[in-house]
Structure formats: structure tokens, C-alpha cells
């Protein structure tokens, strides 16, 4: 979408205010007795107050009306969303699924929330440990409705059709070959422009981080400067018939009504934000001598567990790259492991699209 602006960086201390209200961001303190323009100050925490400074996540939001000014939540149908993994018997076989059909808009209007389908997962949101993998298929925008996930972070991967995501922090346009992360507790709405489909990786109890680089050094893989955070944008919008907030809490859906848009944040600052990333910016590390490096070198984001070196989930891509190796079988090796939680279902497939003959025993491939 032309005109959308972003701030660069991963986990930075950002500050932004809508240009229509200059000076709306308080200076020198977070919660003045009277905020500029009569705004209400709220803090959104992504960690415990007492977390170490390096992992402490929070943002201050300055809004036209308080976010708690809504009617009580009531249960609603969960549709195809679930985290009841015991509903089906375990199956040790290799499995795959066909692409989910996208409903025709001429037959049925389906927005982002109605089009959520759970594919698989492990753990649960109540114990704050585990993952869920969902698909979304939709053909219409969310009108006077937003979604809030109290269970964990959502990593959204559009596969077909771009999506315009409006958040309390601003707007993001996310296209195929881009990803975005909406962190726990953030309200957002999704606009679509055609029949649309994509993946969602949900993690419970952890936030996504950049992987440690180790011997790679200071640069490589997904560089922090390539992540983009939206700038402040607000709407002072009254909805007489009721604005619907859908909240996912402990694996169930609840809804409530209020008479104004929740996207009324005029200014904000902090390090707990939504963000997006273009996968074309990923700096690939690869083997240039023999054998294949482990797929962990293609990790974009990781959600760490409490066990050092073990992730709850890794988001891994296999982007186009030159694969140059001597005396090595071209396709990657078969890999069997006993880790219970692994998000290989989120990995992009790798296709050999170009080959250059460099000699009898040395070939170069671009995958």
C-alpha cells in the first residue's frame, strides 16, 4: 500500500506519534497526570515487570479512549480452531496435506477469523509451553471487528494474496514472501483484496527472537535492520451498531462489543511492537566445499525454550541460493530426529531451478 511508513530495527526502543497530533507523545515521563490532547496512557507488557532488562518487553500507548471500556466477553464458536491434540490418535507416519480451499466470495463471506483452521500442534496455552500451526483462508475484510490473541505470538506467512494489517501501533502491508509477527495481547484487523490464504505459527510462553550467530559473526541470516515496525496511526471512529473484539484465551474464542474503534492510539513508545520482514533480505549461509550444512543455518526467527540450545519453534526458510559442493549428493540428506516439537511444516520447499556444469566432479546449483 503506497504511503505506508515503517521504522527499521528488531527489538528497538521505538517512539512514534501520528503527524495529525504533533506533541502527543509525552516527554520526560510515561504517565503524566494529564496527557497531551487529553489522551489515556496505557502500558502493554510482553514480559513480567521484573524480567532482566535484556528481555523486558513493554510499550506505552496513548489512546483516545481506554481499551477496557467495553462490554463483558462471552464465549463464541471456535470453528476449526483447537488445541485439543488428543482428539485424534497419534500417527508416526510422514504426513502432508493438500492446500486448503478458499471459499468463493460469491458463495460465502469469510473473514480472517472465520477462516482460521488448526492443522497441528503440541503443548497448550494454559501451561504456557508449546505451538500450534494454523491456516487462514478468507475472501473478505474484517469490518468493525478485530482479533486479540492472549495465548501467544502469531507469525503470519501469506501464501496467496497480500493482507493489510491494522494494529494499535499502525498499519502494515504484508505480501507473499514476507512475514509478520503480531505479539501476544495486540489487537489487529485484517483487510484482504482477493481470495487469500496463508500459514500461521503460534507459540505459547515465548517471544520470537533472532537466532544467535556464533562463529558466523556479527552479520548474516536475518539482519536486524531489515525488520520493519509500523508508525503510529489512529482513527477516531464511533460504531453505533457495535465494534466486535474477538479474544483468543486459553484456546477458546470470546467476543465483546464496544462503540468505538480500538485503533485509537495517537502515539506510542516502547520495544514491544508488531513487525514485518521481507524474506528476500535473508542473507544465506551455505556450504561451498562438501556435504550439506544443517538446516538450522536457514533460521529466520526462533522461540527459545527454557532448555539451552532447544527451541519451542524455529521459523526456517530455504531461499534461492547457490549450492556448491564436491563429491556430495545434490538433494539434502534424510534427517530423522526425536525432538517432539519441530515446525518443519512451516519451512518453504526448495526447488532446483538452475544448474551450471563446472567440471566432471564439481557442479553448482541455484535452489
Among this protein's residues, is 292 annotated catalytic?
yes
Q: C-alpha distances in angstroms, 235 versus 63, 97, 262, 325?
A: 10, 40, 8, 55
Strand partners, 201: 133, 155
Mapping DSSP to helix (H, G, I), strand (E, B) and coil, where does residue 159 land? strand
- Quote the CA–CA distance of 329 and 326 in Å, as a whole number: 9
Positive or negative: CA dihedral 235, 241, 247, 253: negative
Contact between 121 and 133 under an 8 Å Cβ cutoff? The reply is yes
Q: Torsions phi, psi of 304, nearest 5?
A: -75, 150
Strand partners, 76: 253
Phi-psi region for residue 28, left (φ > 0), alpha (ψ -120 to 50) or beta?
A: left
Q: Write the CB contacts of 86 (distance below 8 Å, at least 6 apart in sequence).
A: none
Catalytic residue (one of 70, 292, 354, 362): 292
**DSSP β-ladder status, 187-192 and 163-167:** antiparallel
Which three three-digit cell numbers place residue 6? 515503517
Is residue 335 part of an annotated ligand binding site?
A: yes
Q: Which residues of 39-56 are buried (b: 16+ CB within 10 A; e: fewer)?
A: bbbbebebeeeeeeeeee
In the DSSP assignment, the letter for residue 209 is B
- Quote the CA–CA distance of 41 and 205 in Å, as a whole number: 26
Contact between 260 and 242 under an 8 Å Cβ cutoff? The reply is no
- Quote the CA–CA distance of 202 and 155 in Å, as a whole number: 6
Mapping DSSP to helix (H, G, I), strand (E, B) and coil, where does residue 240 land? strand
Contact between 165 and 188 under an 8 Å Cβ cutoff? The reply is yes
Provide the annotated active-site residues.
292
Give the annotated binding-site residues.
335
Question: Which residues are part of a known binding site for Fe cation?
Answer: 335
Amino acid at each position: 500500500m503506497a504511503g505506508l511508513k515503517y521504522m527499521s530495527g528488531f527489538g528497538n526502543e521505538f517512539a512514534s506519534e501520528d503527524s495529525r497530533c504533533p506533541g502527543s507523545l509525552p516527554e520526560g515521563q510515561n504517565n503524566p497526570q494529564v496527557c497531551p490532547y487529553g489522551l489515556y496512557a496505557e502500558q502493554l507488557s510482553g514480559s513480567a515487570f521484573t524480567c532482566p532488562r535484556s528481555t523486558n518487553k513493554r510499550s506505552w500507548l496513548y489512546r483516545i479512549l481506554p481499551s477496557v471500556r467495553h462490554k463483558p466477553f462471552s464465549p463464541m464458536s471456535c470453528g476449526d480452531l483447537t488445541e485439543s491434540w488428543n482428539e485424534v490418535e497419534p500417527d508416526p507416519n510422514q504426513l502432508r496435506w493438500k492446500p486448503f480451499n478458499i471459499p468463493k466470495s460469491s458463495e460465502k463471506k469469510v473473514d480472517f477469523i472465520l477462516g482460521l483452521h488448526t492443522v497441528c500442534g503440541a503443548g497448550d496455552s494454559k501451561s504456557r509451553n508449546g505451538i500450534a500451526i494454523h491456516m487462514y483462508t478468507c475472501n473478505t475484510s474484517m469490518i468493525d471487528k478485530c482479533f486479540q490473541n492472549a495465548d501467544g505470538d502469531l507469525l503470519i506467512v501469506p501464501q496467496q494474496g497480500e493482507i493489510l494489517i491494522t494494529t494499535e501501533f499502525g498499519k502494515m502491508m504484508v505480501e507473499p514472501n514476507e512475514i509478520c509477527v503480531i505479539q501476544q495481547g495486540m489487537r489487529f484487523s485484517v483487510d484482504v483484496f482477493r481470495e487469500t490464504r496463508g500459514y500461521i505459527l503460534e507459540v505459547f510462553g515465548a517471544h520470537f527472537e533472532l537466532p544467535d550467530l556464533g562463529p558466523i559473526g556479527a552479520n548474516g541470516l536475518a539482519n536486524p535492520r531489515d525488520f520493519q515496525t509500523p508508525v503510529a496511526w489512529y482513527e477516531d471512529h464511533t460504531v453505533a451498531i457495535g465494534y466486535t473484539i474477538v479474544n483468543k484465551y486459553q484456546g477458546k474464542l470470546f467476543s465483546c462489543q464496544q462503540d468505538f474503534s480500538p485503533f485509537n492510539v495517537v502515539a506510542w513508545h516502547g520495544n514491544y511492537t508488531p513487525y514485518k520482514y521481507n524474506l528476500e533480505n535473508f542473507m544465506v549461509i551455505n556450504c561451498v566445499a562438501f556435504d550439506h550444512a544443517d538446516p538450522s543455518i536457514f533460521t529466520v526467527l526462533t522461540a527459545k525454550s527454557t532448555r539451552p540450545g532447544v527451541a519451542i519453534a524455529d521459523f526456517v526458510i530455504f531461499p534461492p541460493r547457490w549450492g556448491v559442493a564436491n563429491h556430495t549428493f545434490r538433494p539434502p540428506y534424510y534427517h530423522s530426529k526425536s525432538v517432539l516439537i519441530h515446525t518443519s511444516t512451516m519451512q518453504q520447499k526448495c526447488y532446483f531451478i538452475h544448474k551450471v556444469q563446472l567440471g566432471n566432479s564439481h557442479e553448482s546449483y541455484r535452489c
